[in-house]
């Protein structure tokens, strides 16, 4: 095997491996971001639960002061809140003397409070801080409901205490909720958090003695995120672990798809290069004269170029899909000089029955690395489109896959999503030339908010614009090989393209062929891609 073929194979596998690793890292970062978001959402649920716990206790405390701790009045107030059924907040509610001179409840609704079996110092501490403790960071110094953990023993409970805001209050209202004996409770299958395991602790540290409830064996292992939630005058630590891919299975499989496709492409290219090199060696051995050798070398050069073109064509769509209401056409011509593969590409991706995504892009530079990056971007766009992402979201995600300092390449990309029902366009651009819209009024460029090329900055940003398309209009998206010329400004080339397109007539295929023939430059090194769409309704 020739060393060149081996180098081609190694470079291709290294490029594929780096892209697969980048996709794997991106998947991991995306999973962490989604998990952090879900943990914050779950923490907000616990924060929102405090008012519903505090309000009945505050009402009962005021009533106790007014009625001198009347048991009948307390029963009427709390009987709808206390019970052993899931719709009741508490399993026990009671009234205590605030000064701690009596360490047994004056009146009890529901079960006997577990606090009554606690040591005297514990009871006095609960009664003393009831409704008077200000949690850290609470604006205005407002008191919060007292939260106490009675977690030892076979029937663990969580206690809530509150006293009237009066300066000389006499009573404390105290209530308890029951926790599962094994501290385990799975979320319901239809819950918003059904794909997550969780562990909830009383306090800011994940101590086993402070565990309130969990959906699996605590502590949780693997990928976890946590948040500390203010809960009355205490804090809760919520730890969560995903039991499935939060971003979907497609993102999990993408690194393996890139690795598999890239490995096959690299191996195929190495085999073809090896075949060409062996044919070249054979030709050199048989050539007896300089003229014969030159002729054979010229033929080998043509074979290598044909090989590069075949590989480049294999990375592009084999055909365009049939889309009701529009006619699609494409013209793709590689640069006429050199053997390196270019990075220009196009794609048409149907998204459901109503939308179709058009993409035209150009990776900087040439060669196998540029082609590999082009293939990675193309398949990534298809994955993001399948997830329902719009043009600006797709470009934002692509910007995290590629970085010019690491990969030595960047890419300009134009994404256009067509709404077939409303005949509108949603466009976003990453440093790519604006598309050309042709209708009965003439030809004009669509004003797209141009963002930085993909790979320049991981933060974008990219903005979409929406355009209403006139009936029977034609839109052309293209790469710079169609209009750029040496020694000429870009504006001159774009104006020449606009005037030429406005003068053309005929079918969409005739329009694309006429534009390429009229504007192509002999001996150009750059590839040219033109993707056209014409509305038929």
What is the pLDDT at residue 238?
A: 93
Last residue of a domain, one of 216, 247, 278: 247
Last residue of a domain, one of 226, 247, 268: 247
Number of DSSP helices (H) and strands (E) in the chain, helices first? 10, 20
Bigger pLDDT: 290 vs 529: 529
152: left (phi over 0), alpha (psi -120 to 50) or beta: beta
pLDDT at position 140 over 50: no
Strand ranges, E, within 189-300: 196-202, 211-214, 225-231, 234-242
What is the pLDDT at residue 12?
A: 84
Q: Comparing C-alpha atoms, which of 310, 300, 329 is closest to residue 371?
A: 310
Residue 476 and residue 366 share a domain: yes
Under 8 Å between Cβ of 380 and 254: yes
Q: How many CB atoms lie within 10 A of CB 154?
A: 5
Residue 102 covered by a domain: no
pLDDT at position 289 over 70: no
Residue 258 covered by a domain: no
pLDDT at position 267 over 60: yes
Average model confidence (pLDDT) across the chain: 86
Residue 134 covered by a domain: no
Residue 473 and residue 333 share a domain: yes
d(CA 195, CA 245) in angstroms, rounded, equals 9
Question: 396 lies in which domain range?
Answer: 316-537
**Is the peptide bond prior to 461 cis by the omega test (within 30 degrees of 0)?**
yes
What is the pLDDT at residue 425?
A: 96
What is the pLDDT at residue 299?
A: 59
d(CA 211, CA 391) in angstroms, rounded, equals 46
- Token look-up 């055909």 returns 319
Last residue of a domain, one of 232, 247, 262: 247
What is the pLDDT at residue 112?
A: 94
Mean pLDDT of the 91-102 span: 90
Mean pLDDT of the 485-506 span: 92
Q: Classify strands 450-451 and 442-445 as parallel, antiparallel or unpaired.
A: unpaired
d(CA 469, CA 534) in angstroms, rounded, equals 10
What is the pLDDT at residue 350?
A: 95
- Token look-up 């990675």 returns 376
What is the pLDDT at residue 464?
A: 95
d(CA 103, CA 478) in angstroms, rounded, equals 84
Name, of 64-68, 152-156, 157-161, 425-429, the range with top average pLDDT.
Answer: 425-429
Backbone angles phi, psi at 40, to 5 degrees: -65, -40
Mean pLDDT of the 345-363 span: 94
Bigger pLDDT: 294 vs 315: 315
What is the pLDDT at residue 420?
A: 93
Which tokens is 368 given?
Answer: 């196998």
Per-residue pLDDT band for 205 (boundaries 50, 70, 90) equals: very high
Q: How many CB atoms lie within 10 A of CB 458?
A: 12
What is the pLDDT at residue 189?
A: 64
Residue 537 and residue 456 share a domain: yes
| Residues with Cβ within 8 Å of residue 376, at least 6 apart in sequence | 19, 23, 258, 262, 401
**Is the peptide bond prior to 264 cis by the omega test (within 30 degrees of 0)?**
no
Under 8 Å between Cβ of 391 and 384: no
- 215-248 pLDDT tens trace: 888 898 889 999 999 988 889 999 999 988 877 7
Residue 470 covered by a domain: yes
Residue 330 and residue 226 share a domain: no
d(CA 301, CA 464) in angstroms, rounded, equals 45
Beta bridge partners of 174: 94, 161
pLDDT at position 368 over 90: no
Residue 226 and residue 338 share a domain: no
Under 8 Å between Cβ of 149 and 212: yes
Residue 225 and residue 360 share a domain: no
**Above pLDDT 90, what percent of the chain?**
44
Which tokens is 127 given?
Answer: 């009664």
What is the pLDDT at residue 301?
A: 45
**Above pLDDT 70, what percent of the chain?**
90
Residue 374 and residue 511 share a domain: yes
Q: Classify strands 92-97 and 171-178 as parallel, antiparallel or unpaired.
A: antiparallel
Residue 239 and residue 357 share a domain: no
d(CA 468, CA 446) in angstroms, rounded, equals 11
Residue 445 covered by a domain: yes
Specify the number of domains making up the chain: 2
Per-residue pLDDT band for 186 (boundaries 50, 70, 90) equals: confident
Bigger pLDDT: 186 vs 388: 388
Domain with residue 378: its CATH number is 3.60.40.10
Q: How many CB atoms lie within 10 A of CB 536?
A: 11
Residue 157 covered by a domain: no
Q: Comparing C-alpha atoms, which of 469, 481, 468, 482 is closest to residue 438?
A: 469
Residue 338 and residue 230 share a domain: no
- Token look-up 């004056």 returns 106
Residue 537 and residue 421 share a domain: yes
Residue 50 covered by a domain: no
Which range (117-126, 210-219, 303-312) has the least confidence? 303-312
Per-residue pLDDT band for 132 (boundaries 50, 70, 90) equals: low
Residue 325 and residue 232 share a domain: no
Residue 236 and residue 362 share a domain: no
Backbone angles phi, psi at 201, to 5 degrees: -120, 150
């Amino acid at each position: 095997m020739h060393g060149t073929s081996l180098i081609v194979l190694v470079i291709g596998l290294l490029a594929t491996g780096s892209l697969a690793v980048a996709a794997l890292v991106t998947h991991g970062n995306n999973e962490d971001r989604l998990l952090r978001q879900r943990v914050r959402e779950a923490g907000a649920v616990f924060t929102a639960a405090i008012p519903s716990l505090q309000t009945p206790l505050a009402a009962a405390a005021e009533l106790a002061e007014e009625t001198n701790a009347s048991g009948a009045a307390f029963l009427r107030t709390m009987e709808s809140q206390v019970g052993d059924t899931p719709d009741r907040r508490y399993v026990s509610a009671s009234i205590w003397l605030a000064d701690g001179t009596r360490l047994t409840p004056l009146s009890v609704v529901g079960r006997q409070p577990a606090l009554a079996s606690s040591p005297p110092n514990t009871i006095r501490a609960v009664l003393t801080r009831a409704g008077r403790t200000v949690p850290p960071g609470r604006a205005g110094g407002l008191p919060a409901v007292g939260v106490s953990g009675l977690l030892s023993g076979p029937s663990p409970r969580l206690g809530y205490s509150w006293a009237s805001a009066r300066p000389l209050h006499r009573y404390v209202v105290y209530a308890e909720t029951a926790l599962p004996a094994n501290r385990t409770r799975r979320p319901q299958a239809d819950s918003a958090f059904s794909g997550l395991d969780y562990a909830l602790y009383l306090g800011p540290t994940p101590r086993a003695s402070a565990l309130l409830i969990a959906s699996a064996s605590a502590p949780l292992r693997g990928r976890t995120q946590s948040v500390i939630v203010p809960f009355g005058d205490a804090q809760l630590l919520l730890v969560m672990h995903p039991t499935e891919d939060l971003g979907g299975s497609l993102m999990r499989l993408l690194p393996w798809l890139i690795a598999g496709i890239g490995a096959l492409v690299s191996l195929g290219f190495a085999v073809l290069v090896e075949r060409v090199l062996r044919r070249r060696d054979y030709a050199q051995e048989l050539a007896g004269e300089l003229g014969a050798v030159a002729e054979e070398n010229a033929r080998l050069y043509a074979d290598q170029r044909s090989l590069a073109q075949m590989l480049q064509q294999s990375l592009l769509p084999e055909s365009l899909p049939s889309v009701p209401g529009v006619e699609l056409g494409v013209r793709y011509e590689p640069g006429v000089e050199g053997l390196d593969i270019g990075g220009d590409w196009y794609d048409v991706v149907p998204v459901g029955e109503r939308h179709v995504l058009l993409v035209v892009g150009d990776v900087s530079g040439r060669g196998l690395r540029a082609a590999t990056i082009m293939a990675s971007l193309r398949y990534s766009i298809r994955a993001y489109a399948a997830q329902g992402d719009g043009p600006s979201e797709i470009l934002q995600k692509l910007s995290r896959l590629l970085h010019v300092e690491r990969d030595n390449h960047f890419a300009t990309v134009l994404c256009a999503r067509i709404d077939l029902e409303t005949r509108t366009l949603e466009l976003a651009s990453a440093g790519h030339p604006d598309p050309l819209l042709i209708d009965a009024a003439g030809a004009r460029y669509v004003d797209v908010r141009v963002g930085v090329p993909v790979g320049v900055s991981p933060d974008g940003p990219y903005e979409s614009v929406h355009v209403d398309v006139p009936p029977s209009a034609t839109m052309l998206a293209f790469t710079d090989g169609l209009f750029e010329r040496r020694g000429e400004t870009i504006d001159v080339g774009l104006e020449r393209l606009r005037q030429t397109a406005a003068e053309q007539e005929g079918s969409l295929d005739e329009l694309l062929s006429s534009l390429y023939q009229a504007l192509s430059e002999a001996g150009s090194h750059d590839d040219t891609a033109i993707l056209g769409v014409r509305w038929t309704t």
